[in-house]
Amino acid sequence: MAGHAARDRERKLIDDTLLADIREANLTYLILAQRMLRTDRAQGMFRLGIGEEVAGIVEGLTTAQMIKVASTNMLMCKLRFDDSIVWNLIARNDDVLDIKKTHAAILLARALPEAA
Amino acid sequence: MRGKTVVGDAREVARATELIELGMRLQMLESEMPLSRERLTKLYKELKGKSPPKGMLPFSTDWFVTWMPNIHASLFMGIYHHLIKVSALDDIDALIKSYKLYLEQCQALDSDVVMSITRAWRLVRFVDAKMLRVAPCTCCKGEYVVREFDLTRHYVCGLCNVPSRAGKKRPDAALKIAA
């Protein structure tokens, strides 16, 4: 009984579903990233916004490695555009959205990876 | 020398095929590819089922600074710069890849494809030849295609400062401006 109670307490302290979701998101992200890089490296790097070095590492990961890397309590992908101009353009709701999207696309296309 | 080995030759033909399918004109293929004119013509006919169009290529730099083309040219140029900065690519590969990304972007934006690959190639050449360049907008910090000798210290792009009649030429123009 005492063991049960302790486990219950632990369960409440650690959010299992959150960890599982993070792991799944990480794995999905890594698999997608690797697929993009393997299909076309240059285009993949553009889409991911990563540099040569990171691209090489991700491309070379084995499935087992990916699972291991994905199992952490941190999300591996982060918001790429930390620029309020861009977010205003994408997220604001109004009727000139079409042109705003194009505007955002121009700003995003030239956002280089931090390493470059 | 490229195109001298059988493998190299096959690669060039595959590239030329890709370019023709993207709509590149024969004149450009001739200047970009180490393949003979006859072979290119033959390839073109095989792929398109008709003779390559004759006539001059678009040669004006002014097209790129008019409103809608400028937006698309700037978008393409952003992609192209990104690609050549992050990876070592041949000029022509960079063109193919960035043009494909541009087409994808147009699709995602639900917009007409304003710029043909011929224009895209001319744009890259114009920039190489220092007839056009990119300048940052003082308002949104994006980079836009401008003429080499335009004054750009206080440059504001056509998207931050939309001209009053912009995009109103055709009602079905893909970029809709609020009335």
Q: One digit per residue, pLDDT tens: chain B, 179 residues?
A: 454 788 888 988 998 999 999 988 888 888 888 888 899 999 999 998 888 888 888 888 889 988 888 999 999 999 999 888 888 888 888 999 999 999 998 888 888 888 899 999 999 999 999 999 999 988 888 889 999 888 888 888 888 888 877 666 555 554 555 43
B18 CB neighbours in chain A (<8 A) are: none
Cα B72 to Cα B157: distance, rounded to the nearest angstrom: 12
Out of B74, B81, B177, closest to residue A96 by CB: B177
Contact flag B101-A46 (C-beta cutoff 8 Å)? yes
Closest Cα to residue B37, out of B49, B48, B23, B51?
B51
By C-alpha distance, the chain A residue nearest B87 is A42
Cα B132 to Cα B61: distance, rounded to the nearest angstrom: 7
Out of A96, A102, A116, closest to residue B109 by CB: A102
Contact flag B82-A110 (C-beta cutoff 8 Å)? yes
Contact flag A110-B105 (C-beta cutoff 8 Å)? no
Q: Which one is predicted more confidently, A25 or A91? A: A25
Residue B28 makes CB contacts below 8 A (sequence gap 6+) with B19, B57, B118, B121
Instruction: Tell me the pairing of strands B132-136 and B143-147.
Output: antiparallel
The predicted model scores a pTM of 0.80
Q: Which residue in the block uniquely carries the two structure tokens 């505007």?
A: A103
Query: According to the model, what pLDDT value does residue A15 have?
Result: 72
Closest Cα to residue B65, out of B118, B24, B139, B126?
B126
By C-alpha distance, the chain A residue nearest B134 is A110
Query: According to the model, what pLDDT value does residue A93 have?
Result: 62
* Residue B90 identity: D
Give the bridge partners for B145, in sequence order: B134
Q: How far is CA B105 from CA A23, B21, B35, B89, B111, in A?
A: 30, 18, 31, 21, 9
The structure tokens listed for A82 are: 């930390």
DSSP B69: H
Tens of pLDDT, residue by residue over A1-54, are 556 777 676 666 777 788 889 999 999 999 999 999 999 988 999 888 888 888
